[in-house]
Structure formats: C-alpha cells, structure tokens
Structure 1
C-alpha cells in the first residue's frame, strides 16, 4: 500500500515593518504611561512655562499689539514638540541601547524601520495630547484666541507633523553619539541654547543678526515661525525678518531635516553599544 504523503509545512510570512511599527507604537505608549516622571515632564513643562512667562510679562504686548501670552504660545508649543521628539527620543534610545534592550530586539528580528515607526507613532500621539492640553489652558486661562478658519488649522497640522517627525529622526540620529549620560546631557544643553536662539522667549527679529543666522540653520526656528503663523494675526508677519511667514521655506527646511535625519540614522544606527 502506498504511504500517504504528508504535505510540507510552510512558515507564515513575517509581519511587515509597518505592522511591527504599529505594534511598537502601542508598546511605546504603554511604556511612556508607566513612567510618571516622563509623563509629568512632557505635559507639565509647556504649561508651567506658559504660566511663568505670561505672569511675569502680564500686560506687555508684542509686535502688532499682540498680548504676550498669545505671542509666547507659539514658541512654547514648538518647544514642547522638540522636547517630546528630539530630546525624549534621543535620551530614551541611548538608554535602551545601554541596557541591552535594542540588542534583544535585534535577536528577535525587529527591523530598524519598524522600531523607528514605533518611536514616531508614540511621539505623534503624545504630541497631539500635549498640544491639546496646552491650547486648552491657553484659551481658558489666558483667553488666547484659537486659530480661525480651516487654513490655519491645516497649517498647524503640517507644521506639527513635520516638526515632530524631524525631531524624532534627529533624536534617533544623535542617540549614537555616545553613552546615555553623554547623550542626555548634550541634548539638554543644546535644546536650551537653541530655544534662546530660535525666538522661543523673545521676538525673533529683535535678536542679534548672528543669532538669527545660526538659528535659521536648525529646524526649531522654523517650527516656531510656523506656529506664529497659526496663532498670530496676519498683520504680525511684518515683524518677521522676511516680512512674511515664509510657509514654503518652513516646509522645505523641516522636510530637509527629516531627510538628513533619515540618512544619518541609516548610516549610524546600531543595536548594540560600540566596543
């Protein structure tokens, strides 16, 4: 009698990088929520800064007669995006590599793209929630007018998206620069300096010209300017160095930094610490 042939078993296809990225996003969000210090810092820092500066400069107007709280909201919203993406991701990734978490992900076959998408997804969700809280406080406590019209909200959306993605990939890129302590200290110091150079706390056009030129190289200046175009009246654009909001240049610079960050990540990302 002829023996029955057993059909060969086939292994299921591995999940795509996108599927892994979506799963990683959920995991990254759970890890974020389980870290109370990070949650408090991410959501409280922008609000605390808004309260401090709006209280200190209460009654003072910026160019065009704009109340200080309204003018400052643009800068602090941009700073919140930078801290949630660039600073948080760069520091966290360096720590994960040092603990051996990334080495374990490599062993189970996690593709770098899936890991990157997970980080980006967590940053985008956190950023949206952070901005929602900040804008609610600004509108209810300081009577800051919210954007009127679909056009301003669309500008807000693409500025937030490009800024958050640029910050995420740049955070991943700089995480390979050294130990977790060195990376964390370096990012924090750089972020503080960049905030002053980029017009977060002051009227950008009133800064020394050399500061403006240095700031124009980095994405935060353009992120802040994009936010000003959303929250300030059109007449306030005359206070900008170019006399306009420069939406096209803002989009190009932020997109360029996304590309630069991706290229650096592709060349320098590693799962394990260098020997």
Structure 2
C-alpha cells in the first residue's frame, strides 16, 4: 500500500493566497473601486477646474499641484484606514472572519494579505493620480533622493493607516455604522490637514489640532516629494520636517498596532 505525502503550505503561500482572495473581493466590489479610484480623480478634477490656475504666492506652484500631493496622501489614508476598517467590519458581520479563524490559517498570514492588498491598491491609486497630475497640471515626477523620501513616507503612512484601520474595525459596533462614523472623521482630517486647502491658510488653532493626526504629516511628506524644494519655506515651520513626520507616523502606527492587538475580534459582539 502506497501513501502520497502531502506538502504543508508555507506561511508565504498562505499569505499570498489571502492576498489573491482580498484582491478579488476588492475588484468585485463596485463601491470600493469607485471610492478608491474614481472618487479621488473626480475631486482632483473638480477642485482643479475651480482653483487649478491659481498660483500660491510667488512660489510658481499652482493649487492643483498642491492638491495632487494632498490627494495622494489622502488616498493612502482612505485605503488603509477607512476602506479597510469598513471591509473588515462587513466580513465580521457576515461571519466571514469567524469562518477564517476556524481554519488553520495563521492570523499573521491573514493580516499580511490585508496589508499587501492595501499596499498594491495604494500604489495603483497613486500612479493614476500622478499620471493625471503630470498630464493636466504639470506635476513633476520625483527624481533622485525624492524617490527615497516617497518610499519611506509611503510605507510609514500605509503602515499607520492600515494599523489604525484594523484597530478601528473592532471599535465599530457593526458594519452599518462604519461608513457613517468614519466618513465624517476622514472628511474632517482632509479639510484640516492641507488636502483641500493650503494648510497655512487655516486658523492657527486648527493647524495645531491637525498636527496631532497622521494625515497632516503624510500630506506634508508627499508635498516634499512632488513640489519644488523651495516650497518648504511656505510650510508652517518653514521646512519639510522629515524627522518629525517620520516620528508622528511611527507613533500612530504603534498606537494602531497596540489597539488592534488588544481589541481585534473575529466574531460579532452578539455572538459572545
């Protein structure tokens, strides 16, 4: 009698399988596709049509170029925080998380797939936004050391947003409330963090409020990538503050990670 040996799947293969599943779920969701890809383009086109030709002082930078950098940062937050939190909350309500947890799939592989999906979707979204910025608003593609800055701002921003998204998903009572709760939060951050308005034109007290949250620093980091070096003098502190940007994003990543580890639930609250 012969037996056929079976090879146990590796952690990497399991994480990749989850990534494929998450990408399929994402591409099959018309609402998510519109929210992640079409909505930012619509906002960029709309604000660009209204304010696009205005030059910010004597900097040579147009409002559309400023807005594009902010929309890149906002897109990272939307994908990693809002969209991820809502999708996990929906999966919990539909008992999908409970079924996944009952399988031999390691929790780390499950979350690795989620993180990889956020990274890939964010990169595609950024590529589309930059292509639109270059084609319509004369945005300059980063060069030299700017790519290194883009890499660490993108990775830290994505890490913080994703950790906060996972953490927030467990703080939401149910999926129905997710959008109603998270949308106002994200809108508040967008309007106060230098996305839709020039940050230094906001009231000083509102600037201080925005400085507590990650989107302000993520947007400022992306401006340092896509705007001329000379524009740093127009920032609130007169510089790009790369060190402080990295520190704030890292702190928010740690906060999100700690909350996610302590509060994440695989089942609905009423199942307990």
Distance, in Å, in 2 between the alignment partners of 1:121 and 1:205 is 34
For 1:63-78, list aligned pairs within 5 A. 63=57, 64-78=59-73
Q: 1:211 Cα deviation (Å)?
A: 1.1
Q: 1:41 Cα deviation (Å)?
A: 2.2
For 1:157-196, list aligned pairs within 5 A. 157-177=151-171, 178-196=173-191
Distance, in Å, in 2 between the alignment partners of 1:246 and 1:110 is 41
Distance, in Å, in 2 between the alignment partners of 1:183 and 1:27 is 22
Distance, in Å, in 2 between the alignment partners of 1:220 and 1:156 is 15
In the alignment of these two chains, the number of paired residues is: 268
Q: 1:11 Cα deviation (Å)?
A: 8.3
Residue 114 of structure 1 aligns with which residue? 109
Q: 1:15 Cα deviation (Å)?
A: 3.5
Corresponding residue SS for 2:79: helix
Corresponding residue SS for 2:269: coil
Match of 1:254 among 249, 257, 265: 249
Q: Which runs of 5+ in 2 are unaligned?
A: none
Q: 1:195 Cα deviation (Å)?
A: 0.6
1:173-213 deviation digits (Å, cap 9, x = unpaired): 01112111222211111000111111111111221122111
For 1:23-172, list aligned pairs within 5 A. 23-63=17-57, 64-147=59-142, 149-172=143-166
What's the TM-score once normalised by structure 2's chain length?
A: 0.93
What's the TM-score once normalised by structure 1's chain length?
A: 0.92
Residue 3 of structure 1 aligns with which residue? none
**Which of these two proteins has the greater Rg computed from alpha carbons?**
1
Between 185-194 and 21-30, report the one with greater CA deviation.
21-30
Distance, in Å, in 1 between the alignment partners of 2:137 and 2:9 is 52
Between 265-274 and 149-158, report the one with greater CA deviation.
149-158
Indicate conservation of the 8 Å contact 1:174/1:183, yes or no. no
Indicate conservation of the 8 Å contact 1:198/1:215, yes or no. yes
Q: 1:119 Cα deviation (Å)?
A: 0.8
Residue 261 of structure 2 aligns with which residue? 266
Distance, in Å, in 1 between the alignment partners of 2:180 and 2:89 is 12
Residue 218 of structure 1 aligns with which residue? 213
Q: 1:104 Cα deviation (Å)?
A: 0.1
State the Cα RMSD in Å: 1.9
Distance, in Å, in 2 between the alignment partners of 1:10 and 1:212 is 63
